[in-house]
């Protein structure tokens, strides 16, 4: 009589080592591409380097991603653009004050993006986007605009609930974005944007910047409606 494992193998066979390797390749290629794009930039990274780092041939790379541009787009979606569904769901479920939401938003961004290699994609686009306008527009569509829309929803929530003063939201968004951009530049520019003497603690920096923003946004007792 066949053993239980034999029956499972017969009707639900495990993929062979080669098949498992094939299934894993897209993720490995994206990870390798992220590493190289952040280390070398888009223009200097060659497709064959990505394939070599992932342990596959250049031909295999092109089976999944027909060009370096398509590979870069997939890296952006995988590491940044694809997160907004999750973040908007968190916005909908959040039950605290809007000030707490803004603090949470900035800290979660640092934990899930700023601390990771993916934060280098923003620096890359800032330095090379002008040379690759199609990729720059793609980045705006997948990252910048959804990010601004989420921040717009947060600020509007505060206004609607009487927690924040009325404001020009389109410009107030940049007050929240600017500290995040600074941290990405600090992390990926050999820290040349600090004095090299004092220590920058990212968590304390975010807390300080968040309180600075909130003190300008929050309604204070005795202030006119």
pLDDT cut 70: percent of the chain above it: 88
Q: Which residue has the tokens 């990771």?
A: 116
Cα distance between residue 225 and residue 222, in whole Å:
9
Please give the C-alpha separations between residue 152 and each of 1, 113, 171, in angstroms, as whole numbers. Answer: 65, 20, 10
List the structure tokens of 24.
Answer: 């894993």
pLDDT cut 90: percent of the chain above it: 75
Confidence of residue 2 (pLDDT cuts 50, 70, 90): very low
Query: Residue 157 pLDDT > 90, yes or no?
Result: yes
Q: What is the pLDDT of residue 5?
A: 41
DSSP 14: P
Task: Tell me the pTM.
Answer: 0.82
Cα distance between residue 34 and residue 56, in whole Å:
16
Which of 63, 66, 60, 55 is CA-nearest to residue 31?
55
Do the beta carbons of residue 54 and residue 32 sit within 8 Å?
Answer: yes
Which of 140, 171, 173 is CA-nearest to residue 154?
173
Residues in the chain: 225
- More confidently predicted of 15 and 52: 52
Confidence of residue 217 (pLDDT cuts 50, 70, 90): confident
pLDDT digits (tens, 9 = 90+) for 76-135: 999 999 999 999 999 999 999 999 999 999 999 999 999 999 999 999 999 999 999 999
Cα distance between residue 85 and residue 129, in whole Å:
25
The rounded mean pLDDT for the chain is 87
Confidence of residue 224 (pLDDT cuts 50, 70, 90): low
Cα distance between residue 147 and residue 106, in whole Å:
12
Q: Which residue has the tokens 């993006």?
A: 113
Query: Residue 24 pLDDT > 60, yes or no?
Result: no
pLDDT digits (tens, 9 = 90+) for 164-201: 999 999 999 999 999 999 999 888 887 777 777 778 89
**Residues 49, 25, 139, 183: what is their CA dihedral angle, to the nearest 10 degrees?**
-80
Query: Residue 4 pLDDT > 90, yes or no?
Result: no
Which H/E stretch holds residue 132? none
């Amino acid at each position: 009589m066949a053993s239980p494992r034999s029956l499972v193998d017969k009707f639900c066979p495990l993929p062979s080592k080669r098949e498992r390797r094939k299934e894993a390749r897209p993720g490995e290629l994206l990870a390798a591409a992220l590493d190289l794009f952040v280390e070398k930039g888009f223009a200097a990274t060659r497709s064959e380097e990505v394939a070599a780092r992932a342990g596959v041939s250049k031909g295999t790379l092109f089976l999944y991603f027909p060009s370096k541009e398509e590979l870069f787009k997939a890296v952006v979606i995988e590491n940044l653009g694809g997160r907004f569904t999750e973040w908007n769901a968190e916005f909908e479920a959040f039950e605290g004050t809007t000030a707490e939401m803004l603090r949470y938003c900035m800290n979660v961004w640092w934990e899930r993006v700023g601390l990771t290699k993916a934060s280098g994609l923003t620096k890359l686009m800032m330095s090379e986007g002008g040379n690759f306008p199609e990729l720059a527009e793609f980045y705006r569509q997948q990252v910048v605009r959804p990010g601004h829309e989420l921040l717009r929803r947060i600020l509007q929530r505060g206004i609607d609930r009487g927690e924040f003063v009325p404001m020009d939201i389109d410009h107030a968004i940049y007050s929240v974005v600017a500290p995040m951009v600074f941290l990405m530049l600090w992390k990926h520019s050999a820290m040349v944007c600090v004095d090299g003497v004092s220590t920058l603690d990212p968590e304390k920096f975010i807390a300080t910047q968040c309180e600075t923003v909130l003190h300008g946004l929050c309604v204070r007792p005795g202030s006119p409606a």
